[in-house]
Structure 1
Amino acid sequence: MTPSPRRLRRLLTAAALAAGGTVVAAVAYAPAAAAIPLPASDYQHVQLALGSAELGEPMSLAVMPDRSVIHTARDGTVRVTDAAGNTKVAGKLSVYTHDEEGLQGVAVDPGFATNRWVWLYYSPTLSTPAGDAPATGTAADFNAWKGHLNLSRFTLKADNTLDLTSEKVVMTVDNDRGLCCHVGGDIDFDAQGNLYLTTGDDTNPFESASYAPIDERTNRNPQYDAQRSSANTNDLRGKLLRIHPNTDGTYSIPSGNMFAPGTAKTRPEIYAMGFRNPFRMSVDKPTGVVYLGDYGPDAGTTDPNRGPNGQVEFDRVTGPGFFGWPYCTGTNTTSETYNEWDFAANVTGPKYNCAGGPTNNSFRNTGLTTLPGAKASWIRYGGDAGTPPEFGASGSESPMGGPVYRYNASLNSAVKFPQTLDGNFFAGEYGRKWIKPVKINADGSPGEISTFPWAGTQVMDMAFGPDGALYVLDYGTGSNNQALYRVEYIGGGNRAPIAKLTVDKTSGPNPLTVNFSSAGSSDPEGGALTYAWDFDGDGTTDSTAANPSFTYTTNGTKTPKLTVKDPQGLTGSASTVITVGNTAPTVKLNLPANGQLFSFGDTVPFNVTVTDPEDGTIDCSKVTVTYFLGHDQHSHQITSKTGCTGSIAIPVDGEHDAAANIYGIFDASYTDNGGLTGHGIATLQPRHRQGEHFGAQSGVQTADHASAEGGKTAGYIENGDWISYSPYLLNNATQFTARVASAGSGGTIEVRAGSPTGTLLGTATVTSTGSWETFANVSTAISGAPSTATTLYLVFKGGSGYLFDVDAFTFTTGTPTTPVVSLKSLTNNNYVSAPNATTALIANSATIGTAQQFDLVDLGGGKVALRAKSNGQFVCAENAGANPLLANRATAGSWETFNLIRNADGSESLQATVNGKYVTAENNGAASLIANRDAIGPWEKFDLIGY
């Protein structure tokens, strides 16, 4: 273990003070180089667009000559945001969106000023089966999932709307559908007008233990074998393609590609090959050099029988060549080369000959058998060694190949980047959330690495505009904070103010009163701001108040805008989208619960409740529940089903990489008849988790251990340190087991909920295992967990010095039970109770007891029943209001079936299926709860506690 400077000081101090104790050997420490920071005061971020209404799931951008930005969303929507920050939908393509497919890249044609052509890369809707492709079967089974992606040219009309009838499908890239992952999809041009397109390997990365996916079993889906794509000279996937578009919608092959036209078993469009997922790239026009970021494999440790551990790379492509995947990665040396692997027998073979040229002997290969020697990466990081220290020692590995900046002295722009950054490659990191300019030495090697003052989150795409400013598409972090920025250089001068706009509602019936807020708006220099609100998006100032309200009286989509001005006259703006005359649906994902424990391979039931004021009765066939495999800060869509109830079988794919920070995400969505979509999302936590993937910590660092499950632990633990993970629902957890190692004094692990001093759920005792490489399991029973999701804290106690390392931990769970709920009347705060099997249910208790607890029983089709915990009887609606609701049925029938309705204020109402009447609490306990109201009022609203 090599501790940080803080840890090293502690270690040496402890050794110096020890008298007659254990001698602590000094550990060599080499301080990591820090990236040179660029002054934050020299740059300002102009927010051009924000949130899902203006960006959707943002994928790619291109800057037009007038500084407007055209950007894509994966659902097929193309938007244009002008230089002032006004966003409009230019058009929407019909796309196939299983796993990572959909609308991807966009580029502006070199002749855009006169021809107004834009280029899009997307997966068109075809007669592809719904759901997931089979993992095994026959060729006929797999042929049903054949598809392709289109590289198409469109005309963008003068009003910035996309002419969908103008489409010219210039090239198609065949692919296999129905399984995850890797489509690539970035587009750029060189100075000669040649078009470059990146394509992914279209291969499932999970069922190969996160090593090379080269499964040659004949009954396996081809999507488990990247030899058919990246290593296939006769296939366009896993490639950097280069073509020269012609004005008639055809293309020719530029000279200098990897294979001359007519070469047997090759595609002449291939410029470079052997990539896994070259998601983002750019062409440096003065030199013609291509810079791209290639996502690499995820294996946690190097296995001599399989190959290297996971790493990623930035590649500098100066000419045609093979870059190694799936036979090698990184520098493509022997230590970073994979073994041939027999998936049927689970036995290893020799390493591939990447230096001399590997042999592609897959029966799925339609290209040349012997490939060229592999070219090394330009910058690799992750893995065992070789990461530039400026990139950091840990974190997500998600490279985004950005642009090269070229300074133009004659450009009249007050916001162009400085000459000191001329020729720098701007590397982006999606998960680590940074942008780092990299100088390029005369020999092409990477030089000095700087840290750019990036103020956003997850970098999705970047480009320099005609003004010399950097335009960045920010994917956001799932909190509706996706954004489009123009980052301007101001050289330490007065920076423009930052506008923040929030509203209390984004949709609703006409008339619609919206309360606006400018909270969070600020001036970097601290000056007083003035405010100008344009509520209708017509360019006029409707209010100068800081936090006004406005009532809309006409239906339609509104784009209100806030402009703030500092004392020097600089402005900043923000906008949003409001829909008048239609209310967005409320989607509640009842099951699975947020933070719920699961194991890969489980079948997880789901239950969704949707309410929409305009749609009325919800068509459950329009409800979609999608399972995503979460990985670090991003996720892969794996499978989906329709319906309000059902179940999803979670593939075992995720469990194969012991080092990966993986988890589950369920996303329930419904699009109403007016086109608005609501979501209900839950994060599921694996029962077995690696300790090093903590969310927050105090005093803990990751430590490398060869015998750890993923090669790393949560280490350097001392008394009082802690780590946390969120969200976790532990109401059915019965035992906590940790895999630990200790050459120290040992100690205890306190399992707590909510905070380092929160509810104590259990304590595990750790004794010395004799070595930091010797691991053992310790356990404790779990009890007293809250019934809702919380933050899990592991708090470490013990004596002096390092106590122990935590490799991984596992929760054992009891049989999952139906959620227990209690109903609290909003009108009087009393709880619905079922005293016995004959008296009426009444709201007559101010505290929750056994008589106030019910099992919420899922009856399917969005219907539920309430079963009293005290007597096992079901709540009934005997008739249309004449009789009280009685807890007198031992089995659920039609009289015990209710619609669970989510109200706009977050409360719930129960509507009897048999008569459409609502359950009410008429007064403070004197009268029975009866199903006798046709409409929801205050007496029909309840908080469902514990659900």
Structure 2
Amino acid sequence: MKTSFALLISGIAFTALIPFNQTSGPGTWLNRNSPANKSKINNRIDTPDQDRFVKVQLVHGQLTEPTELAVLPNLDILVSQRRGEFLIYKNATKTLKDAGKLEVYSKTSVPNVNAEEGLLGMALDPNFAKNQYVYAFYSPISKSVNRLSRFKLLNDKITTESEKVILEFYSQREICCHTGGSIAFGPEGYLYVSTGDNSTPFDAPNTPYVNKGYAPLDNRPGFEQYDARRSAGNTNDLRGKILRIKVNEDGSYTTPDGNLFPKGTPKTKPEIYVMGNRNPYRISVDQKTGFLYWGEVGPDANADDDLRGSRGYDEMNQARKAGYFGWPLFIGNNYPYKAYDFTNGTNGAAFDPAKPINNSPNNTGLTELPQANPAFIYYPYAESKEFPEVGAGGRTAMTGPVYYTKPGASPYPAYYNGKLLIYEWIRGWVKAVTMAPNGDYLSMEPFMENVPLAAPIDMEQGPDGKLYILEYGKGWFAKNPDAGIARIDYLEGNRPPVVKNLTIENTSGLLPYKMTAKVEASDPDKDALTYVWKLGAILKTTTTPQVQHTFTKAGQYSVSVTVMDKSRASSKSQTIVVSAGNAQPSVNIALSGNKSFWFPGNPVSYNVQVSDKGAVVNKSRIYVSSSFTEGLDMAGAQLGHQQAAQTLVGQALMAKSDCSTCHKVDTKSIGPMFKQVSSKYQTKSNAVEYIAGKVIKGSSGVWGEVPMPAHPTMKESEAKQIAEWILSLSAGGNSTPTLPAVGKITTPAEAKATAPVLNIKATYTDMGGVGLKPLSDTYVANLRSSVIDARDLKDLSGFARKDNKGDISLIFPEKEGWIKLKSIDLTGIAAIGTSIQKSGDINYTFEIRIDSENGTQVGKADKVSGRIDISPVTDGKFHDVFIKVKADQPASKERHALKTLIFLSN
């Protein structure tokens, strides 16, 4: 999930027109439908096979907050880590070892505030083979500055004695965020370094008018850290910039011609090449054109606002020459913010990108700023209309290199020559951007789209022409088990197998525990496969995608499988932990009466039943709760008696989202632990809706300063399944039950068309054992209101849907048609009522049939009377119910309009 981690981020088919500018950058538009331009854009018939890209993991699970990597001429890899360490991966021995450490400021003394400073970036000198120079941008612990220094790497060690301080500038530390810190060299030997705006995006405490994720423009005395005009918008400050200098042999530097402000210009800094940056976290320079590229991590506001201005966007930017790129006055395609008075909540005019004015009292530079440049590529949390290929969700823009083939080293197809590679820390994708000869944007497409990445934070083309990727891992401020270094190979010949999924039928059991594991795998080249199973410390090899094994000693065991083809190319599955010596308990909720609906004023009787093999059920560890929620699909699949696997669906949905980047189940990350969230909201009657709303709309201020990103494109039903899973984590033995194990639930006296679903949830957690974690099981029963609104009736034939400003009705067919309701329990149902919103002059006959359109008839009515009686259905099974209608004469234009169906109990 995107949040404001300056170090890593602040706040994680095409349209008809695409950005195109014939002069200095994007901003005008190229019609992609013209024949001439179609030939430029639709050049993908020869797109290389994405399955041929493979990830070679060089280092895994040994890194702690890595920031940048540099590939040495001998293919050793130097890595910087935020907490000050240098590490070196030795290509010859395939080992990782320490290479020195700087004393850096990396942890704040302010409670609940994360420091993002530290060892921020690192790069090799273009003549490294001769001079062994390594450049580092870091936050020394002894002084409140960010510093660019040069060191020597001798005998695989960075020594502080070799340091040459090149430049440094003040940076406040006790309030978060935005550091930048990336270093890159251009083809002329110029050094570029990015700096963040050193401003807080969070809301100021104890004040009625706050930032809310828009541009920080608070100019009240004492609120300087909430005003990015003092830094990013200040021509006389090095923060919120990308600097360009020429470093001399003695460690001094000069500023080259072509920077934004000539040396000696009053109220300016000559080092500035690009200004107006929020958090330009990762930069790259095209080694042929000299164009500068960077990913700009944008603000968190989820929607445009009349008072404040534009919602937040992340940007991928291109600078062909020095310029101002907007922040904090503009974002995205020069979308403006408005001046805002934080003393009374009133606003001023929107800023003008043609004549930007910085009149903040905190500004020490020029008042009149250069004309603002729009972003090259930009996208919000929601789906982007301009760049739909980037997807939706959390966002953390990064730019990698412009890829070029090298003489004697062309490991990838020539198709990618000259394409810009961009990537996303949160979303995990890499895209190849095709540009016109002058650098204008033409299109983007997936690059190595089948290669999974765990929060890629740096990408570099090595001397061998291959891409090397540094993965931070999915977690914040931690040593992540999925952090590592990877090389990307392209296989012209044999390709490794593709492993999709590892499944284990029962992940726990009493001794002897007989386990059956299956893997879904295939080989792109149709080779026969061999499966090497790792079962704890035991290895087994099979020629079929299944293994059976009996564990005879109690314990937790990690199970995984490596799949190999005949050439021994291999891929590894995920790891699943199984429990031998303790069987998962089983929970059931027995309901009396109908298992599809609750009826107004009728209590719902339930009985929670728990069994636990090999143990006595401790009834105090049964947790039962009920709530009324909305959003379950009346088509039927989500209704009725649902087993414990329903919560596992929520777990799977969470794992596929970006939520796991900011939250862990029971360990701290940038966001709260899922178990903390579960415990906090266990007794809230609307917990599912509340948590789901936070997932979709985003959240700030509940668990601290860092905002949690919105997921506006996520389906409400999926967000609720994630919420159900979260709430299941702390139940059973950790909370006081809200309901007894056997009881009745009172229902409202009236049911409306918008009435919610009744959820009854029961969870039991056993006591575990020596060396064994407790195991839980959850059962959820969902009962829908017996009043079904027309908007929920979607499986239709012959009916027409009418939407009158959100008021949905179904227009009866001209001749005949039906409405299908999936998986309905008809126990105790006496009739189905019809609520007609508008009456026509044609009569219809009704038939109620089950299991198919022409199945057994259980009800009939000769006219639209409002009630269709049903013969008793007592088998207790769930049936598909068809409500068939037929006009007794040709229908006129004025036909009946159905508003609701009502299931009536005996």
**Which band: TM-score by shorter chain?**
0.5 to 0.7
Cα shift at 1:294: 0.4
1:374 is matched with which residue? 372
Corresponding residue of 1:186: 182
Counterpart in 1 of 2:319?
317
Q: Is the 8 A contact 1:749 1:796 kept in 2?
A: no
Q: Deviations over 1:705-756 (max 9, x none)?
A: xxxx979586586xx9963235334647979xxxxxxxx9535334465999
Q: Which residue of 2 aligns with 1:210?
A: 213
Mapped partners of 1:754, 1:109: distance in 2: 62
Match of 2:60 in 1: 50
Q: CA deviation at 1:126?
A: 2.5
Report what 1:444 is aligned to.
Answer: 439
Match of residue 467 from structure 2: 470
Deviation at 1:760, TM superposition (A): 4.9
Q: What is the distance in 1 between the residues matched to 2:95 and 2:676?
A: 30
In 1, the alpha carbon distance for the partners of 2:430 and 2:242 equals 23
Matched, 1:231 2:233: yes
Question: Residues of 1 paired with 2:379 and 2:342: CA distance?
Answer: 28
| 8 Å CA contact 2:200, 2:216 repeated in 1 | yes
Written as runs of structure 1 = structure 2, the 5 A alignment for 1:753-772 is 758-760=779-781
2:692·2:719 contact (CA, 8 Å) conserved in 1? no
The answer to whether the aligner puts 1:199 opposite 2:195 as a matched pair is yes
How far the C-alpha of 1:40 sits from its partner, in A, is 3.0
CA contact (8 A) 1:309 1:383 kept: no
Q: Structure 2 residue aligned with 1:93, among 92, 102, 105?
A: 102
| Equivalent position amino acid for 1:201 in 2 | D
Deviation at 1:219, TM superposition (A): 2.3
For 1:211, give the aligned amino acid.
Y
Structure 1 residue 441, shift from structure 2 partner: 1.5
Contact 2:263-2:270 within 8 A present in 1 as well: yes
Which AA in structure 1 matches 2:145? H
Whether contact under 8 Å (1:692, 1:713) holds in the other structure is no
Task: Give distance in 2, aligned partners of 1:81 and 1:681.
Answer: 38
**Post-superposition CA distance 1:603-649 (Å, at most 9, x none):** xxxxxxxxxxxxxxxxxxxxxxxxxxx99555599xx99xxxxxxxx
Distance 1:438 1:796 in 2: 51
- Tell me if the contact between 1:437 and 1:452 (Cα under 8 Å) persists in the aligned partners: yes
Secondary structure in structure 1 of the residue aligned to 2:358 = coil
One-letter code aligned to 1:67: L
| Deviation at residue 392 of structure 1 after TM alignment | 4.4
- The answer to whether the aligner puts 1:363 opposite 2:361 as a matched pair is yes
Q: Which amino acid aligns with 1:467?
A: D
Question: How far apart are the structure 1 equivalents of 2:677 and 2:719?
Answer: 29
CA distance in 2 between partners of 1:331 and 1:797 (Å): 54
Task: Read off the aligned partner of 1:438 and give its amino acid letter.
Answer: V
Give the match for residue 222 of structure 2.
219
Instruction: Confirm whether residue 665 of structure 1 aligns to residue 672 of structure 2.
Output: yes
Select 2:448's aligned residue among 449, 453, 459: 453
Larger radius of gyration: 2
1:494 aligns to what? 494
Separation of aligned partners in 1, 2:711 and 2:416 = 38
What is aligned with 1:157?
154
Change (3 A) 1:412 1:635: closer
1:340 aligns with 2:361: no
Separation (CA, whole Å) in 1 of partners of 2:678 and 2:177: 21
TM-aligned CA distance change 1:89 to 1:710, over 3 Å: closer
1:714/1:470 Cα in 2 relative to 1: closer, same or farther (>3 Å)? closer
Contact preservation (8 Å) 2:324, 2:372: yes
The question of 1:411 aligning with 2:429 is answered: no
Which position in structure 1 is the counterpart of 2:482?
A: 481
2-structure distance, mates of 1:685, 1:485: 39
Higher RCO structure, 1 or 2 (CA under 8 Å, sep 6+): 2
Asked if structure 1 preserves the Cα contact closer than 8 Å seen for 2:293 and 2:319, the reply is: yes
The code of the aligned residue for 1:96 comes to: Y
CA distance in 2, matches of 1:381, 1:338: 16
Map of 2:291 onto structure 1: 289
1:655-804 pair list within 5 angstroms:
664-665=671-672, 689=690, 691=692, 712=712, 723-725=721-723, 726-728=725-727, 729=730, 731=735, 745-746=753-754, 748-751=756-759, 758-760=779-781
Q: Report the counterpart of residue 506 of structure 1 in structure 2.
A: none
Give the secondary structure class of the aligned counterpart of 1:113: helix
The structural deviation recorded for 1:276 is: 0.8
Aligned 8 A contact 2:530 2:541 in 1: no
Match of 2:79 in 1: 71
For residues 252-309 of structure 1, give each alpha carbon's deviation from its aligned partner in whole angstroms, at most 9, with x where no partner exists.
1111100111111111110011011111110001000011110111111111111111
Contact 2:218 2:341 survives alignment (8 Å): yes
Alignment deviations for residues 825-849 of structure 1 (CA, whole Å, 9 cap, x no partner)? xxxxxxxxxxxxxxxxxxxxxxxxx
Whether 1:102 and 2:115 are equivalent positions in the alignment is no
Contact 1:108/1:119 (CA < 8 Å) preserved in 2?
A: yes
- TM-score, normalized by length of structure 1? 0.53
Provide the C-alpha distance between the structure 1 equivalents of 2:325 and 2:680, rounded to a whole number of angstroms.
36
Gaps of 5+ in 2: 1-12, 14-41, 108-113, 204-210, 500-518, 543-560, 574-656, 682-686, 697-708, 740-751, 764-776, 792-801, 808-822, 827-831, 834-906
Q: 1:362 to 1:474 in 2, by over 3 A?
A: same
**What is the deviation of 1:476?**
1.9
**Matches of 2:105 and 2:719, distance apart in 1:** 48
**Alpha-carbon distance in structure 2 between the residues aligned to 1:191 and 1:721:** 48
- Give 2:308's aligned amino acid: R
Q: Unaligned regions of 5+ residues in structure 1, if any?
A: 6-32, 128-146, 500-518, 534-542, 548-561, 575-629, 642-661, 668-679, 696-708, 736-743, 776-794, 801-947
Distance 1:86 1:723, change over 3 A: same
Q: Are the aligned partners of 1:180 and 1:636 in contact in 2 as well (CA < 8 Å)?
A: no
Preserved contact between residue 83 and residue 118 of structure 2 (Cα < 8 Å): yes
Asked if 1 retains the 8 angstrom alpha-carbon contact of 2:695 and 2:711, the reply is no
The whole-number CA distance in structure 1 between the counterparts of 2:264 and 2:825 is: 71
Tell me the percent identity: 34
Verify the 8 A CA contact 1:245 1:251 in the aligned structure 2. yes
Deviation at 1:564?
Answer: 11
State the secondary structure of the residue aligned to 1:223: helix
Cα gap change, 1:329 to 1:204, in 2 (>3 Å) = same
Q: Take 2:80 and 2:253, find their aligned partners in 1: how far apart are those partners?
A: 24
Aligned: 1:422 with 2:423: no
CA contact (8 A) 2:427 2:658 kept: no
2-side partners of 1:796 and 1:76: how far apart? 62
**Which digits, 9 at most, give the CA deviation of each residue in 1:862-887, with x for residues without a partner?**
xxxxxxxxxxxxxxxxxxxxxxxxxx
User: Would the alpha carbon gap of residues 530 and 664 (structure 1) be closer, same or farther in structure 2, given more than 3 Å must change?
Assistant: closer
8 A contact 2:121–2:183 mirrored in 1: yes
Count of residues paired in the alignment: 571
Which segment drifts farther, 282-291 or 722-731?
Answer: 722-731
Task: Encode CA deviations 1:505-559: one digit per residue, 9 max, x unaligned.
Answer: xxxxxxxxxxxxxx9999876667799x9xxxxxxxxx99989xxxxxxxxxxxx
1-side partners of 2:385 and 2:169: how far apart? 34
* Cα distance in 2 for residues equivalent to 1:745 and 1:360: 54
Q: Is the 8 A contact 1:691 1:713 kept in 2?
A: no
Which TM-score applies when normalising by structure 2?
0.55
**1:772–1:295 distance in 2 versus 1, CA, 3 Å:** farther
Distance 2:271 2:265 in 1: 12
Superposed displacement of residue 664, structure 1: 3.3
Indicate conservation of the 8 Å contact 1:747/1:767, yes or no: no
Write the distance in 1 (CA, Å) between the matches of 2:521 and 2:161: 42
Structure 1 354/462 Cα, relative in aligned 2: closer, same or farther at 3 Å? same
Distance 1:573 1:210, change over 3 A: closer
Q: Residue 185 of structure 1: SS of its match in structure 2?
A: strand
Query: Paired residue for 1:806?
Result: none
Match of 2:166 in 1: 170
Partner of 1:59: 67
Q: Shift of the alpha carbon at 1:444? A: 2.2
